[in-house]
Structure 1
Amino acid sequence: MALKDDHYTYRVTWSAADNEYVGLCAEFPSLSWLSKTPEEALKGIRKLVADVIVDMRKTGEVIPEPITNRHYSGKFVVRVTPETYKDLAIQAAESGVSLNRLVAAKLSR
């Protein structure tokens, strides 16, 4: 069964341990699907997610919202050691940019 509005985040990668492609879904990290081809791995994980959602609806479980449907402010807080903070502040000053811009650039790499 396919989902009507399947906006979930899928990825297919090679599994050397299994010698097959593995289909994954970010919103359902406990699920995976192995197959000989990447196309079949994607098809398999999408069907598995759809089947799990049908079961979740039957049991009244909360169904994860697709990542792509969520809204992000672009702001998050992270704690670092005072030494790391000092090092980053020095790098920002030497580069002539704000600490925020320096860290954002490092995260986007």
Structure 2
Amino acid sequence: MATKILKHKGYQGTVEVDFENNRLSGKVLHIKSLITYCGDTPEALHASFEEEVDEYIADCEALGVEPEKPFSGTFQVRTTPELHKQLTTQAVEKGVTFNKFVTWILETECQKPPLAEFARIGEKLNVADWKHVAPMSEVMGIRTTRLTPSLEKIGENSKQNLMSYDYGKCH
């Protein structure tokens, strides 16, 4: 199945279908500037999207302004004081900063397969099979990793402490 999000030079765009006019259109996401594009075919829409992004970047350069970046890498999360305290405590216990710990949790969650994939495990294994350790990739037919990129920057001792779940094995 094709993606419903177009991507070019770090920018993302929508794909919208106008059935009445038999036309495709879209807009660039996650920036304040309004950049739209259209096409009669998926290929034409994608080409229009890339052309508009390139033109936006060129216009910004010609005007001497920095193009908006879709994501800054910073966002604010509202949570309960109890969860905030728990996360901070765990970060201190693991010897990493709060930001590194939360980033690691988010990266780990983003790398997990969707919950629907976990349902497939029950279809492929019977209860007796759960008594041995099998690579998750064999069970689910997916590629797995053991460490996220942010953990590469943390000390070896901290890596061991942070690995509360081994994504390379089924337990």
SS in structure 2 opposite 1:9?
A: strand
User: 1:75, CA displacement in angstroms?
Assistant: 2.9
1:58 to 58, 62, 70: 62
| Contact 2:16/2:25 (<8 A) preserved | yes
Separation in 2 of the partners of 1:75 and 1:6? 30
- Residue 23 of structure 1 aligns to which amino acid in structure 2? G
Contact 2:38 2:45 in 1 (8 A): yes
Task: State the partner residue of 1:7.
Answer: 10
Q: Which runs of 5+ in 1 are unaligned?
A: 77-109
TM-score, scaled relative to structure 2: 0.35
Does the 8 Å contact 1:23/1:33 carry over to 2? yes
Q: Normalization by structure 1: what TM-score?
A: 0.52
* Divergent runs of 4+, >4 A: none
Q: Separation in 1 of the partners of 2:17 and 2:32?
A: 19
Q: Percent identity?
A: 17
Where in structure 2 are the equivalents of 1:1-109 lying within 5 Å?
6-16=9-19, 18-26=21-29, 27=31, 29-67=33-71, 69-75=72-78
What runs of 5+ residues in structure 2 fail to find an aligned partner?
Answer: 1-7, 80-171
Which residue in the other structure is 2:5 paired with? none
Contact 1:15–1:21 under 8 Å retained in 2:
yes
Partner of 1:49, secondary structure, is helix
CA distance in 2, matches of 1:64, 1:17: 33
Structure with more contact order per residue of length (Cα contacts < 8 Å, sep ≥ 6):
1
- 1:39 deviates by 2.9
The Cα of 1:45 is off from its aligned counterpart by: 1.3
Q: Secondary structure at the match of 2:43?
A: helix
State how far apart, in whole Å, the 2-side matches of 1:65 and 1:55 are.
Answer: 15
Give the structure with higher Rg (CA).
2
Asked whether the 8 Å contact 2:11–2:53 carries over to 1, the reply is: no
**1:30 aligned partner, one-letter code:** L
